[in-house]
Amino acid sequence: MRGVAGPAARLVLGALALGLAVQYLVVSQRAGINVVLAVAAALALARSARPRGATLRPRDAWIPGGALALAAGAAARDDPALVAFDVLAALALTLATVPALHGVPVASLTLRALAGEGLALAGRCAGRAPRVLREAGPALAALVPARSSRVLGYGAGVALAVPLLVVFAGLFSSADAVFQRSLAAVLDLAWLRGLFAQLPARVVLAAAVAWVALGALAPRQARPAPPQVRRPLPRDAAVGALAAIDLLFASFVAFQLAYLFGGRDTLEAAGISYSAYARTGFFELVAVAAMVASLLFALDLALRARGRAYVAAALALVALTGVVLASSMRRLSLYQEAYGWTELRLYAIAGIAFLALALAVLAAAVARDAMARAAQPIVLAALSVALAVNAVGPSAVIALQNVDRFLAPASLPEDAYRGLDVGYLETLGDGAVPVVAERLPLLPDTVRSWVREMLLRERARRPAEDDWRGWNLDRVRAGEALRALATQ
């Protein structure tokens, strides 16, 4: 094919093949190994379509590696929020691999250049496909022998008649039982009806994937260098703003050190229960940390000139924000001690971990005057946290913590909830089933019967086993645990 068709024609054929493969893998299937295969196929096409001589720089190898790792997370975990994040992030990193394979040093780009590259890639994905199709037209036409035109015409006519054939066959089958049995011996009518019911979704998905692939992988055009933008912010104004913010943060941190980090006696002296104090202000403090990160980005990019006073004020703000973040983490841990674990609280811990890594990246960027290239390390920090969450399995961790705190409540605060929310355990899905089944013999008789009934209900309403495209580790382990429980 490489010697017969031109580059544009090869790209069209590859994009069509990718679209057909993706629709086959994902339509009517739950997320599983199909996500890994779809991402791997897209990366393989991107590598085969890269310009001659272009290579992936070692510093950018984490981009396709991260895409495959997150896709593997979708095949391992069954937590809906986590799987949705894994799939979307894997798709984003797959697209980001395209400029890296075209020779763009993605890891070394400044923030402005990175944004420009992203906008250019989005523009190519949206509107470049028609040009590639026009370029590929003559080469694709040359691949079809002239003698086969009549055969292709007959084939097109048969394809147009297929929907009507299915309808007529269904009507004849309803009218005559003998004809129905004879036809069923030759064709799987239920499979055909299902296929045509899914046909619009399959066609749209295949066309969309092919369109995006054609635009993204089309040859890049040289873009003019972005114009230099005058930085409007004087250094003194930035230092003054940071100093005022530092003062407010320092006063808040002083209160946190006195109350939140002062222990239970300090709060009781103020007439505040631990659980009541913990459940107030957590999200506000996380929002403060996120705003500080955005503020430092904006200030550094708008600043005309740096100085020691600016660096000192910015680093002081990062340090104080770290204490605020520690305060939010402490509040969350107190709240969990009082009321147990939930998915939202576990994802909040992941968010705090990401913000802590982002603050460390920002501190290094401020100290080294490298804020313009801080976006890539922050994305790497987010990828690291996401992979860690996938590795531990949110549902399993939550179920384990809640069951264990119920079995050993001695260390809980006096006003803590000491029961086991079986209804919430039931909502955690397949990831929690093996942990709950393993802890089942340790539970008191009454609670054990409730939990056992819950697990058996889960087994009864489980859908039919996925075929190989929807293979998922959490679902496989849950099925094995439920089958073992049913035999006991």
Q: Tell me which range, 72-86, 130-144, 160-174, 192-206, is most confidently predicted by mean pLDDT.
A: 72-86
Mean pLDDT throughout 445-463? 83
**How far, CA to CA in Å, does 250 sit from each of 270, 359, 449, 484?**
21, 17, 53, 57
Whether residue 474 has pLDDT greater than 90 = yes
Read off the pLDDT band of 54 (50, 70, 90): confident
CA distance 147 to 141: 13
What is residue 109's three-state secondary structure? coil
Q: pLDDT value at position 139?
A: 74
Do the Cβ atoms of 171 and 41 come closer than 8 Å?
no
Q: Tell me 88's DSSP state.
A: H
Find the range with the poorest average confidence among 133-137, 211-215, 221-225, 317-321. 221-225
Do the Cβ atoms of 296 and 318 come closer than 8 Å?
yes
The more confident residue out of 39 and 173 is 39
**How far, CA to CA in Å, does 215 sit from each of 7, 130, 401?**
14, 8, 48
CA distance 322 to 334: 18
Whether residue 466 has pLDDT greater than 80 = no
**How far, CA to CA in Å, does 446 sit from each of 321, 440, 450, 453?**
47, 11, 7, 11
Find the range with the poorest average confidence among 221-225, 265-269, 369-373. 265-269
What is residue 204's three-state secondary structure? helix
Q: pLDDT value at position 228?
A: 60
Whether residue 263 has pLDDT greater than 60 = no
Q: Other CB atoms closer than 10 Å to residue 453's CB: what's the count?
A: 12
User: What is the distance of C-alpha 487 from the center of its chain?
Assistant: 37
Q: pLDDT value at position 306?
A: 79
Do the Cβ atoms of 109 and 117 come closer than 8 Å?
yes
Mean pLDDT throughout 284-289? 80
Return the percentage of the chain with pLDDT > 90, whole number: 32
Q: pLDDT value at position 183?
A: 67
What is residue 10's three-state secondary structure? helix
Do the Cβ atoms of 133 and 12 come closer than 8 Å?
yes
Do the Cβ atoms of 86 and 74 come closer than 8 Å?
yes
Mean pLDDT over the full length of the chain: 83
What is residue 303's three-state secondary structure? strand
Q: Name 476's Cβ contacts closer than 8 Å, sequence gap at least 6.
A: none
Write down the residue that tokens 């942990």 correspond to.
Answer: 435
Digit-coded pLDDT (tens) for 406-434: 998 887 877 778 888 888 888 888 999 99
Q: pLDDT value at position 260?
A: 57
C-alpha angle 485/421/347, rounded to 5°?
100
Digit-coded pLDDT (tens) for 209-229: 999 999 998 887 665 655 566
Whether residue 187 has pLDDT greater than 90 = no
> DSSP characters for 213-276?
HHHHHSPP---PPPPP----B-HHHHHHHHHHHHHHHHHHHHHHHHTGGG-HHHHHHTT--HHH
φ, ψ dihedrals at 5, nearest 5°: -95, 155
The more confident residue out of 154 and 264 is 154
Do the Cβ atoms of 51 and 363 come closer than 8 Å?
no
Whether residue 243 has pLDDT greater than 50 = yes
Digit-coded pLDDT (tens) for 17-51: 999 999 999 988 899 999 999 999 999 999 998 88
The more confident residue out of 48 and 176 is 48
pTM, whole model, 2 decimals?
0.84
Q: pLDDT value at position 120?
A: 87
Mean pLDDT throughout 189-213? 78
Which amino acid is present at 347? Y
The percent of the chain in helix, strand and coil, each rounded to the nearest 5, is 80, 0, 20
Beta-carbon-side half-sphere exposure of residue 136 (alpha carbons within 13 Å): 21
Q: Tell me which range, 250-254, 274-278, 397-401, is most confidently predicted by mean pLDDT.
A: 397-401
Find the range with the poorest average confidence among 64-68, 203-207, 270-274, 416-420. 270-274
Whether residue 290 has pLDDT greater than 70 = yes
Q: pLDDT value at position 2?
A: 47
Which amino acid is present at 157? G
Q: pLDDT value at position 4?
A: 45
Q: pLDDT value at position 3?
A: 45
CA distance 125 to 119: 10
Q: Tell me 442's DSSP state.
A: G
Name the nearest CA neighbour of 110 among 368, 307, 376: 376
Whether residue 268 has pLDDT greater than 70 = no
Read off the pLDDT band of 116 (50, 70, 90): confident
Q: What's the N-to-C CA distance of the chain in angstroms?
A: 59
Q: pLDDT value at position 389?
A: 96
Return the percentage of the chain with pLDDT > 70, whole number: 83
Helix axes 375-392 and 394-407, enclosed angle (nearest 10): 50
Write down the residue that tokens 């937590």 correspond to.
Answer: 79
The more confident residue out of 169 and 22 is 22
Alpha helix segments (H runs only) across 340-472? 343-368, 375-392, 394-407, 422-427, 433-439, 445-460
